[in-house]
Amino acid sequence: MANILITGGAGFIGQNLVHTWRKTRPDDRLTVIDAMTYAANITSLEPLIESRQINLVKGSITDGALLRDLFDQHQFTRVAHLAAESHVDRSIEDPEAFLTTNVLGTFALLKASLDFWRANKLLEQSRFLHVSTDEVYGSLSAHEPAFCETTPYRPNSPYAASKAASDHLVRSFEVTYGLPALITNCSNNYGPYQHPEKLIPLMIIHALEGKALPIYGDGSNIRDWLHVSDHCEALIAVIERGHVGETYNVGGGNEQNNRNVVGLICETIDRAFAKDSKLKDRFPACPAADDRSCRSLITFVTDRPGHDHRYAINATKLANELGKRCSVDFAAGLEQTVRWYIENEAWWRAIISGSYRTWIEKNYGNRSAV
């Protein structure tokens, strides 16, 4: 049994990690801290909160005093650090917020962890897992080998730069102060509870509502898609069995360009409507309700600045050292994800209002069709 702190636990990957941790390690005591920004959602966590299976704290990781109080109260020996601003487009509009959370927040958490573990002689038995992104490595051409743990950093967006800086901070605390830290760099996640600003849920929801499916540029940008359940299982393996001071890349082994991903989403929704006539009444604006393909909604818009062409992850180290390999096939995982958003309409309808609508209009409304 261990006392666990999960930062950003009300976010997409965070809440999936909470559920995976609760299921696989039921005796551990979990505390979740989250600033509850626009991307947070505790709907899926409410049963765990009400039954006191987790302790939820609303607060920022930049609040050093709060972090010290939490460590004193709960005696954490495991920290899974997922709290971050994570949307590239938003980082282009407001880079300062990304530096504040991703760099200064990580520093505050590192210091609180180190101070508590040092004072209580817990360094040897504790672990600090910093969850990062493959975007720190920059962009690959079509024929370059996939990113490995020794690939030089070359971030191209304010988001990627802020995560690269936080990775370096974590490494420096391990080397200089002996903090028992590990780092993971993951590829693009998808699955349930993902905020509708990200590509896959955005396209699913827009298709169901009969709205345009905006694809940047010519849609040739390639990502390695990782189902969030595979990612969460890998994170637990790393924090429990990984070697302190090491980095582990976590990838899905599913390279797809954006054009193909959106096409697969359209085909999956088309099939779902063909099998279930009730969907036509629930989503009458969807082209599939009139037996037309959702592909008719696809539109290509002006590319975003500094758009990385390709990401790909070599996860051999994770497989060889910890025996973790991703098991979710992309087509099957995408079909499950589409079905989840269809079945959880109330969840996303509560999100796509107000500030979210303003954001969509700001980010896509001024991009001309190409």
Instruction: State yes or no: is 270 an active-site residue.
Output: no
User: The tokens 């992850």 sit on which residue?
Assistant: 313
Helix ranges, the chain (H): 12-24, 46-50, 64-74, 88-93, 95-98, 106-119, 158-177, 199-208, 228-241, 258-275, 278-282, 316-322, 330-343, 345-349, 355-364
Sheet architecture: strand order including 188-190: 188-190, 222-227, 255-257
Helix ranges, 128-227 (H): 158-177, 199-208
Instruction: State yes or no: is 153 an active-site residue.
Output: no
CA distance 91 to 88: 5
Closest by Cα among 110, 82, 105, 113 to 170: 110
Run of H or E including 364: helix 355-364
Strands 127-133 and 29-34, how do they pair?
unpaired
Q: Which of 137, 159, 193, 216 is flagged as catalytic?
A: 159
Helices (H) and strands (E) in the chain, counts: 15, 12
User: The tokens 């559920």 sit on which residue?
Assistant: 19
CA distance 118 to 114: 6
Return the structure tokens found at 48: 């765990």
Return the structure tokens found at 153: 């950093």
Instruction: State yes or no: is 72 an active-site residue.
Output: no
CA distance 242 to 173: 17
Q: Which of 134, 230, 270, 335 is flagged as catalytic?
A: 134
Closest by Cα among 365, 370, 369 to 89: 365
357 Cβ contact list (under 8 Å, min separation 6): none
Q: Which of 34, 85, 135, 224 is flagged as catalytic?
A: 135
User: For residue 202, what are the CA distances in angstroms to 10, 257, 285, 367?
Assistant: 19, 16, 16, 16
Task: Answer yes or no: are the C-beta atoms of 28 and 2 closer than 8 Å.
Answer: yes
Residues catalogued as catalytic: 134-135, 159
